[in-house]
Structure 1
Amino acid sequence: MAAIGEVLKEFRKEHGMTQKDLSRGICSQSVLSRIENNEEIPNIIVIQQLCHRLGITIDQLMLDFLPEELFLRKYFNKMFMYLRVGKYLEIRTTLEYLDERQITHLDKDRQLACFFKAVCAYFIDEDPKKSLNHTIQGLSICVSKKYDGYFDSRILLLSFAGKMYAVLGDVNKAKSYYSQSFELFQTMMADYSERSELSNLFVNYGTFLFKQERFDLAEKVVDMGLKWNRQQCSYYKLKELLELKILMLESRDELYSVISYRKILRALEKLKDL
């Protein structure tokens, strides 16, 4: 139980909370500091309250207390970082390393690994069929909804399957998978997700709908994507979303709005140059 403090610290940092934020009304900040430094063993009531504030269950905490789980989370987070900057070879190298270690035992980890394998198959191998097989395999894995990130992983897989079907020319299947992904995002408790990578859903689905000339739904998807970026304070895929929004406004000859969004786009480009 002593080393559970390390896991609490990991969860706190992932949620962007300070020790003061997490301990307020539960225990003193100094007590939490001692717990995180494995200098004090917390009682069960304190653990329950800390978990509740972090939005996790004690079961999740104890599961992630396992050294392999803590190890895996760091590597999956690293792969998400590589995804955001398009370093697909680094993702594959990380996957190969994890395969060698043979530690992705849990269904939730195997499902997420399928997503990253699909990404590599498409962007490195340029093989959409192989990529699609990985996404379908990931979706076939039964994962308990109690796991943090359950909805995120499923949305990413459904969206990427939609993208692969679109690339392969199966418009109906693409529409079905994109629709499932978008509906799941709308019905899930999206405010509790911190996965900026979900922005890929709005870019890919919005682009697909625009090409199908379903302009009203395309704009709804893009607007939701822009809102999502604001909520996450994220620039990930913001440029692509703004460009899609401008295309839609231009198709309706809304020139004043086009000028406004172009100013935002130029400002974003300047920020990236800093």
Structure 2
Amino acid sequence: MEAIGQVLKEFRKEHGMTQKDLSQGICSQSVLSRIENNEEIPNIFVIQQLCHRLGITIDQLMVDFLPEEMFLRKYFNKMFMYLRMTKYLEIRATLEYLEERQMTHLDKDRQQMYFFKGVCSYFIDEDPETALEQIVDGLGICVSKKYHGYFDSRILLLSFAGKMSFVLGRFTDAQNYYSQSYEIFRSMMADYSERSELSNLFVNYGTFLVNQERLDLAEKVIDMGIKWNRQQCSYYKLRELIELKIRMLEAREELHSVISYRKMLRALEKIKDL
């Protein structure tokens, strides 16, 4: 039962609920916080009520403790690592391995599978149409009948759907997907403190807005992406974000600021070379 709080927290975030939403009428928010931080073991009556509000069974809550689920988490973490390293063939090989064993049972896992399938269709097969179809299939999955899954994989799916729509010249669809992913991120930002791959949202949406010459909104998106990277202490996609910032400033002819960001870019390259 050591990690039950972490599993409960993941389900809460998947359902787009705050601690106050979930705990109201069941226990105090401070008690739920201690449960999620594994500082307190809840009694069975509290667990039953929390699961009922989440629309899940106790069995679903406990599935993450099964050896198979722990095994699956390891492979998803590998695919995210391959994504950061642009090793798309390794992602496809991992997908095929998991599909052969029919190991994905939870909706959040199925969503991530569709995301990685779309990534492979685009970057390996150079087929944005199929990639978009796979991403849309992933977006059609909800984590429960009652709530939509506003969590990291949904943001990644929406952002990538925007990118594919842009590549296919469907600019209205691209804007719709991008704005949805951006608004979800803004509303849930405090809960996404460890998923550096979300930086793709800011690069994709920022590129779209700069190309559309919508520079005011582009600045907000790019600046939030740079801030996000700083909070993560991560360099993932930071170079691309700074390059986008420079493009935007050049379009505005803000040359003094361009010089400052070019210095920042050179400093970043030196750090990466160490």
Do both share a fold (TM > 0.5)? yes
Structure 1 partner of 2:99: 99
- After TM superposition, list the pairs within 5 Å mapping 1:27-106 onto structure 2: 51-53=35-37, 62-106=62-106
Is the 1:144–1:150 contact (alpha carbons within 8 Å) kept by the matching residues of 2? no
Greater RCO (Cα-Cα under 8 Å, separation 6 or more)? 2
Residue identity matched to 1:191: A
CA RMSD of aligned residues (A): 2.7
Q: Distance in 2 between matches of 1:115 and 1:232?
A: 22
| Alignment pair present for 1:138 and 2:138 | yes
Please state how far the C-alpha of 1:259 moved relative to its aligned partner: 1.4
Please state how far the C-alpha of 1:55 moved relative to its aligned partner: 10
Q: Distance in 1 between matches of 2:150 and 2:39?
A: 14
Summarize the Cα distance change of 1:249–1:137 in structure 2 as closer, same or farther, 3 Å threshold. Answer: same
Q: Which runs of 5+ in 1 are unaligned?
A: 12-46
Please state how far the C-alpha of 1:63 moved relative to its aligned partner: 2.6
Please state how far the C-alpha of 1:49 moved relative to its aligned partner: 7.4
| Identity rate, percent | 71
Is the 1:143–1:150 contact (alpha carbons within 8 Å) kept by the matching residues of 2? no
> Deviations along 1:126-179, whole A, 9 cap, x unmatched?
0001100110000001114999x8511110000100100100111111111111
Please state how far the C-alpha of 1:192 moved relative to its aligned partner: 2.0
Task: Give aligned pairs, total.
Answer: 233
Summarize the Cα distance change of 1:143–1:261 in structure 2 as closer, same or farther, 3 Å threshold. Answer: same
Summarize the Cα distance change of 1:49–1:213 in structure 2 as closer, same or farther, 3 Å threshold. Answer: closer
Please state how far the C-alpha of 1:191 moved relative to its aligned partner: 2.0
Residue identity matched to 2:36: H
Structure 1 partner of 2:243: 243
> Deviations along 1:225-267, whole A, 9 cap, x unmatched?
0011111111000000000111111222222211111111101
Q: Which runs of 5+ in 2 are unaligned?
A: 8-30, 48-57
Please state how far the C-alpha of 1:95 moved relative to its aligned partner: 0.5
Q: Distance in 1 between matches of 2:166 and 2:271?
A: 33
Query: Normalising by the residue count of structure 2, what TM-score does the alignment of the two structures yield?
Result: 0.78
Structure 1 partner of 2:191: 192
- After TM superposition, list the pairs within 5 Å mapping 1:212-223 onto structure 2: 212-223=212-223
Q: Which runs of 4+ in 1 moved over 4 A?
A: 47-50, 54-61
Structure 2 partner of 1:153: 153
